[in-house]
A and B are shown apart, each in its own frame.
Chain A
Amino acid sequence: MKGDRKYILIFLFPMAAFMSIFLYYPFFKSLYLSFFRTKGFFDKKFVGFDNYKRLMSDDLLGAATLHTLEIMLYTVVFQVGIALILAVMVDNISKFQRFYRTVFFFPVVISGTAISLLFVLFYNYNFGLLNNILATLGLEKVLWLSESNALKAIAVPTVWHYVGFYFVLFLTAMAKIPNDYYEAAKLEGIRGFKKMTKLTIPLILSDIKVVITLAITGTMKVFEFVWVIARGQNNTEVLGTYMYKKALVDQNFGYGSTIAIYMVVLGVVLALVANRLLKSEEITY
């Protein structure tokens, strides 16, 4: 044990170094910058808690937080929900399982920006696919990205993009359930929908919990869909795009960093809350 410790440290060091350089260092640098008023890259001035005061009274930030939470709701309900339904269905078939697995997983490997561009062409008012279909049917064109609708329209590709990932996680979890459970259930005459609600889902509950936490923290990172499809306009600004605008478009790195810190805090709080709400005992097979 004593001799092992050296090797443990040696093997952990590369990852620790990597994390320090690319995660902890930027984090502390952001924390440091959040106390400065910056003008571009060359000029900064210490302003104490001014940026945090601004954070408190920033209406746009409040709106961005609400939009982020709304997307979070859609992801938790639909992304996790659809992934679970698909997984249950695919788990119950014996043929073509691999085929479906590939098909459903496929969107995950496409870049988010590419998917966004695709949806720009779906939603465009003047020559988008959806409005072209409506026009051929002789119907009135719809402004898909209107003020009331834009965020929901963006939620569609956001949800679709990652459904496959959670689907695969669920499917793997289901594959771990020992077959005897199902055989016993079969003898008891439990099948179909009841089997799913009474057996499959309770047995993978800890995985569902993990997936929900992943979905919640993942939404904090939503950026490209909002940026490419609607540029954060029409009530679609989320925290990611707002931070980018402040830091890189406006070159106000101080305030941008403050928003980043706010996002970290919010993300941690939400993850903790989710963990607390979803508390369940571990199941061992």
Chain B
Amino acid sequence: MKRPSLVLMSMLLIFSMFLAACGGTNEVKNDPKETPKAEEPKKEEPKKDVALRVFSTFGGTDTAREAFQAAIDEFTTKNPNVKVDNDTMSANDDGFRTKVNTDMSSGNEPDLLFYFAGVDAQGFVDAGKVVPMNDILDADAEWKAGFTPSALENTRQKDGNIYAIPLTGFYEGLFVNKKLFADNNLELPTDWEKMKKAVSTFAAKGIIPLAAPFDQSHYVVEHFILSAAGPESQAKGLADGVDPNWEKGYAAMKELYDLGAFPKDAATIDLGMASNYYGTGKAAMILEGSWAFGGFADAAVKDNTTVIPFPVVPGGVGSGNDIIGGFGSGFYLTKATFDNADKKDAAIALMKHLTSPATIQKIAVANGGTPAAKVEITGLAQAAMDGFAMAANSKSINNPVDSRIAPETFSALRAGVQQVVTGKKSPADALKEAKTIEDENKK
């Protein structure tokens, strides 16, 4: 009776080996040069039917979802031979990063990909999965002239090439509810003293001063570090040692926490809930980005919001007018599509359409982002105009600190927030821990 089970076991074993072998060949196949059905005999047909897949985050609750779909429809009406699969995933969690990375590393690349530039893209850029756009841009002067030069500069990768064609940019800042400040006879927190006064006053009245979660404290960490360490030091990341000024950022978080700045349940809420507190008027301030307007539930809160730069923390070397922002994302053309003669032209045409000034204008109006093209944006809410004005008048616009360090290091910085504000760790220890992880990642 033992025989069949033995046979089965060995079959299983052989099968798993076979699978492992499959995995091996797959990795080799990832070589972008090897594309299926690349060189098929070309006939002088008018126009072949082409199906393109565009992956982006313009889906779910994204405010630009409809504008983006409309832009795609416009293209397919003009080019009836092209079918576009508008593949989207929400940007609210880290899930879409996983999706993009698995797609890119397993030979399932979309034809056009809307994704971050910088460290997030470094992996597939280095692996040669996407095409440098420099030549394609230069070949079409009209298209290139449509962009603001700084927007294109901003998506340049370390190797000096532009891979991502930007659409709209973003800014981050301190969103404040003007009405709550006025009702409590407070001045807007343009410096640290005013900030402290506002925090203590709101805390005493039972209004949450600053709606910020500990775990998803991305914007908290970014702003406190920028204000404490200044643009240059934050741009260096943690590569060559810890700048002692960074500690001042964490010390300032603790100072505000001790005054009652954070929500009572800051440890367990997520960013969505924090935004909910602010959007329903329960909180007076929140650190957020230009995309946040769509998420504020109460229209009155939206109307009473203005955006200001985060004030300088005690001892900080920032100017008080440095903000976080840029054109951190754009459309990539994948190598597989570029090498596919059937798809190449259609994909480039679609890319040009999606990044034309007209489309950029529509998307920017919908999501409140800074347009990457020289277009007039009208009809935006006052708060969004305030945000643009803040970005326009700022002394420096900086890429967020998480684009300078490894993801695991940024997680450690975020995890440090609760530890430091509750006094379990000193700012220096929290940063030392992050530095250790950064060094591990550099190995």
- Decide if A and B are genuine partners: yes
> Which residues of A does B touch, CB under 8 Å?
5, 8-9, 12-13, 16-17, 19-21, 24-25, 28-29, 37, 39-43, 45, 47, 120, 124-126, 143, 145, 147, 150, 229-234, 245-246, 248-252
Known: A28-B16, A248-B94. A234 touches B268 (CB 8 A): yes
Is B216 engaged at the interface, CB distance under 8 Å to the other chain? yes
A45 touching B443, Cβ below 8 Å: yes
- Please name all residues of chain B whose beta carbon is closer than 8 Å to the beta carbon of A233 when the two chains form the complex: 214-215, 267-268, 418
B264–A143 contact, CB under 8 A?
A: yes
A125 to B342, CA, bound (A): 57
Q: What are the residues of chain A within 8 A of B123 when measuring CB–CB?
A: 39-43
Interface residue total, chain B, C-beta cutoff 8 A: 46
Measured between beta carbons, the chain A residues less than 8 angstroms from B443 are 37, 45, 47
Q: How far is the CA of A234 from the CA of B273 in the complex (A)?
A: 17
Asked whether B4 lies within 8 Å of A249 as measured between CB atoms, the reply is no
> Which of A8, A143, A251 contacts B408, CB < 8 Å?
A251
Bound: A85/B284 CA distance, A: 50
User: In the assembly, what is the distance between CA of A9 and CA of B14, in Å?
Assistant: 14
Q: Mark B116-131, 1 if CB is under 8 A from A, else 0.
A: 0000001110110000
Q: Known contacts A5-B7, A42-B105, A251-B407; can you find 19 more A-B pairs with CB under 8 A?
A: A5-B3, A9-B7, A16-B8, A20-B16, A37-B440, A40-B122, A41-B102, A41-B104, A45-B443, A126-B264, A143-B264, A145-B268, A147-B267, A230-B267, A231-B216, A231-B270, A234-B267, A251-B97, A251-B101
B265 with A21: CB separation less than 8 A: no
From B216, which residue of chain A is reached at the shortest CB distance? A231
B213 and chain A: residue at smallest CB distance = A231
B145 within 8 A of A: no
B341 part of interface (Cβ distance < 8 Å): no
Distance in angstroms between the alpha carbons of A122 and B123 in the assembled complex: 42
- A120: which B residues are within 8 A, CB to CB? 273
Of all chain A residues, which has the CB nearest B95? Answer: A248
Q: Tell whether, in the assembled complex, residue A125 and residue B126 are in contact, meaning their CB atoms are under 8 Å apart.
A: no
Greatest chain B CB density within 10 A among A8, A232, A234 is at A234
Are B98 and A248 closer than 8 Å at their CB atoms? yes
Can you spell out 30 A-B residue pairs with CB atoms less than 8 angstroms apart?
A: A8-B4, A9-B8, A9-B11, A16-B8, A19-B12, A20-B12, A20-B16, A21-B19, A24-B16, A25-B19, A25-B20, A29-B23, A39-B406, A41-B104, A41-B124, A42-B105, A42-B127, A45-B443, A47-B443, A126-B264, A145-B267, A230-B267, A231-B216, A233-B214, A233-B418, A245-B411, A248-B94, A250-B408, A251-B408, A252-B408
A16 to B11 CA separation, bound complex (whole angstroms):
9
Q: Which residue of B lies closest to A144 (CB)?
A: B265
B230 touches A (CB below 8 Å) = no
Chain B positions 259 through 303: 1 when the CB is less than 8 Å from some CB of chain A, otherwise 0: 000011101111001000100001000000000000000000000
Residues of B within 8 A of A (CB): 3-4, 7-8, 11-12, 15-16, 19-20, 23, 94-95, 97-98, 101-102, 104-105, 122-124, 126-127, 208, 214-216, 263-265, 267-270, 273, 277, 282, 406-408, 411, 418, 440-441, 443
Q: Assess the A41–B411 pair: CB atoms within 8 A.
A: no
CB within 8 A of A42: which of B124, B273, B282?
B124
Give chain B residues whose Cβ lies under 8 Å from the Cβ of A37. Answer: 440-441, 443
Whether A16 pairs with B216 at a CB distance below 8 angstroms is no
Chain A residues near B216 (CB, 8 Å)? Answer: 231
Q: Which residue on chain A has the smallest CB distance to residue B30?
A: A42
Q: Which chain A positions have C-beta within 8 A of B265?
A: 124-126, 143, 145
Complex alpha-carbon distance, A159 and B102, angstroms: 34
Contacts of A147 in B (CB 8 A): 267
